[in-house]
Structures are given as structure tokens and as C-alpha cells.
């Protein structure tokens, strides 16, 4: 990852924390240099500061989020209005469909899972809580992209697709269809054999402000066969109900 010019000291700290949060396991210095684009000497200074404040912990030369990062995560779980407003609807959708249901948001050109209700089946598909994937493929990503404010969507697509003009044109045409339909569907785009449907959640009545999140239902492709229309309808209804609850608060 190439570091952007003009990155401030505070942003360097955030680059390190973001890399640790999204990696999914402890990182070596070499891993962090590749993920952040920071020089090794600069990286050591940032890590030392984060360790002193408890945001990062070290074990045998590998680094991971520290206890203060855990406190932040626990505080988010308890206090997030979006998660609180969404959880009951997600539980009902998971119970009715017998499939996994996630609440996802767009952060730093990635899809991040804020909450997950697991399917009761032993064979199930889940986008683990805290997992992040690039904002370019899959129902979750396309639902979030489709309902971003116009200016934000254009800027995001420029960053995500870069010089890939054909890919950019294809995704823009698909996003237009998603906006007209009201939800996104994908099959095996992120994980093989996983079907998904995702519908946007709006905190404001005026949709020009863009979606705040999306509700995504995930199922093995084999179990979605013959049920896709019903699962999509239930997911859209759930997203609408959560939006109404948020707008009433």
C-alpha cells in the first residue's frame, strides 16, 4: 500500500490502528509496513506511542489491538444506536429465513460488518463481525455503493476501480439497476458458494443523503435456489422497518 502524500502524524496513527483492526490476526512489522506504506522507522514510533497508551499490544515481535482498543469495541457494542435499532429486526429475519443476517457499513473503501446473527444450520454462511472486504464486489458492497450520495459514490468508484474503465462502466450500470430495484443480489462474488441479498438502511427520510448501512442475508447458494424472491422480499422489509425506527428516534 502506497502512503498518500501529506499524511499527518495523527493519520499515521490511524493507519496503524486500521491495519491492525482489519488484518484479523497479529501482524509483524513487515506486515504493517506493507499495509500502511509507512517507513519502518516511522512505524516503530507510531507503534511505541500506541503501546504506551494501551491501543496496541506486542507478543514476540507481533502486534495486535490492545486492551484500550477492546474497551472501544465494547463501548461501541453497548452504545451504537444503529446496532441497537437493527438487532431486533435482524433476529426476526434470521429466525424467519433460518439464514445468517449481517449489518454492514462502508468505511475507508471497505465493507465492515458491525453485527451478525448466525443461522441455526450447521452449514451456514457468515460475514464475521468485524470482518472487512473491499468495497467492490458482492451484494453488501453493491448495496452500499448504490445508495451512497452521488458525489461520494463517484469519488469512491474512482478510488476503488482506478484505471479499470470497463469495470467502472459495468459496476455503474449495475448500481443503477440496484437503485431502481431497491436491493442487491450476488452469488459467489466474495466467497464461493455463498448467495447474498442486501438492502439499504436510511437514517433520514430524504434519501439523497445516502444510506447509513445495509442489511445483508447470506445463505449457501444451494439453499437459496427457489427462495431468492422471498428472501429478498424479507430482507427489504426488514431494512425498511429498521429505517423507520431510526427516523422515528
Residues 90-116: what's their mean pLDDT? 92
DSSP state string for 17-78: HHHHHHHSS-B-HHHHHHHH---HHHHHHHHHHHHHTTSEEEETTEEEE-HHHHHHHHHHHH
In terms of pLDDT, which residue wins out, 226 or 130? 226
Residues 98-113: what's their mean pLDDT? 89
- Predicted confidence band at 239 (pLDDT cuts at 50, 70, 90)? very high
166 pLDDT above the threshold of 70:
yes
pTM of the model: 0.73
The pLDDT, as a whole number, for residue 4 is: 46
The pLDDT, as a whole number, for residue 2 is: 44
% of the chain with per-residue pLDDT over 70: 92
The answer to whether the beta carbons of residues 143 and 199 sit under 8 Å apart is yes
Q: What is the pLDDT of residues 189-211, one digit of tens each?
A: 988 999 999 999 998 776 666 77
The pLDDT, as a whole number, for residue 72 is: 73
12 pLDDT above the threshold of 90:
no
In terms of pLDDT, which residue wins out, 3 or 43? 43
Mean of per-residue pLDDT scores for the chain: 87
Q: How far is CA 83 from the centre of its chain?
A: 13
Q: What is the pLDDT of residues 126-162, one digit of tens each?
A: 677 877 788 889 999 999 999 999 999 999 999 888 8
The pLDDT, as a whole number, for residue 6 is: 54
80 pLDDT above the threshold of 50:
yes
The pLDDT, as a whole number, for residue 3 is: 47
Domains of the chain in sequence order: 9-71 (1.10.10.10), 80-248 (3.30.450.40)
Q: Which of 56-70, 137-151, 214-228 comes out lowest in average pLDDT?
A: 56-70
The pLDDT, as a whole number, for residue 78 is: 53
Q: Of all residues in the chain, what percent are helix, strand and coil, respectively (each to 5)?
A: 55, 20, 30
Residues 226-230: what's their mean pLDDT? 97
Which of 138, 91, 135, 134 shows the shortest CA–CA distance to 116?
A: 91
Amino acid at each position: 500500500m502506497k502512503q498518500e502524500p501529506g499524511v499527518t502524524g495523527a493519520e499515521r496513527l490511524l493507519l496503524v490502528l486500521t491495519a491492525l483492526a482489519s488484518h484479523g490476526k497479529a501482524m509483524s512489522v513487515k506486515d504493517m509496513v506493507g499495509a500502511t506504506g509507512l517507513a519502518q522507522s516511522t512505524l516503530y514510533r507510531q507503534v511505541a506511542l500506541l503501546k504506551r497508551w494501551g491501543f496496541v499490544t506486542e507478543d514476540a515481535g507481533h502486534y495486535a489491538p490492545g486492551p484500550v482498543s477492546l474497551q472501544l469495541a465494547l463501548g461501541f457494542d453497548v452504545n451504537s444506536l444503529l446496532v441497537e435499532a437493527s438487532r431486533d429486526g435482524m433476529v426476526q429475519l434470521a429466525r424467519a429465513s433460518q439464514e445468517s443476517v449481517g449489518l454492514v457499513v462502508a468505511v475507508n473503501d471497505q465493507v465492515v460488518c458491525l453485527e451478525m446473527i448466525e443461522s441455526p444450520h450447521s452449514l451456514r454462511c457468515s460475514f464475521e463481525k468485524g470482518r472487512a472486504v473491499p468495497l467492490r464486489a458482492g451484494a453488501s458492497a453493491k448495496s452500499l455503493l448504490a445508495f451512497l450520495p452521488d458525489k461520494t459514490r463517484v469519488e469512491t468508484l474512482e478510488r476503488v476501480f482506478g484505471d479499470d474503465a470497463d469495470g467502472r462502466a459495468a459496476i455503474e450500470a449495475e448500481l443503477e439497476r440496484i437503485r431502481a430495484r431497491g436491493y442487491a443480489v450476488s452469488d459467489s462474488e466474495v466467497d464461493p458458494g455463498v448467495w447474498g441479498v442486501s438492502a439499504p438502511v436510511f437514517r433520514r427520510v430524504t434519501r439523497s443523503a445516502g444510506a447509513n448501512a445495509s442489511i445483508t442475508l447470506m445463505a449457501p447458494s444451494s439453499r437459496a435456489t427457489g427462495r431468492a424472491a422471498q428472501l429478498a422480499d424479507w430482507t427489504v422489509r426488514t431494512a425498511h422497518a429498521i429505517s423507520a425506527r431510526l427516523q422515528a428516534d
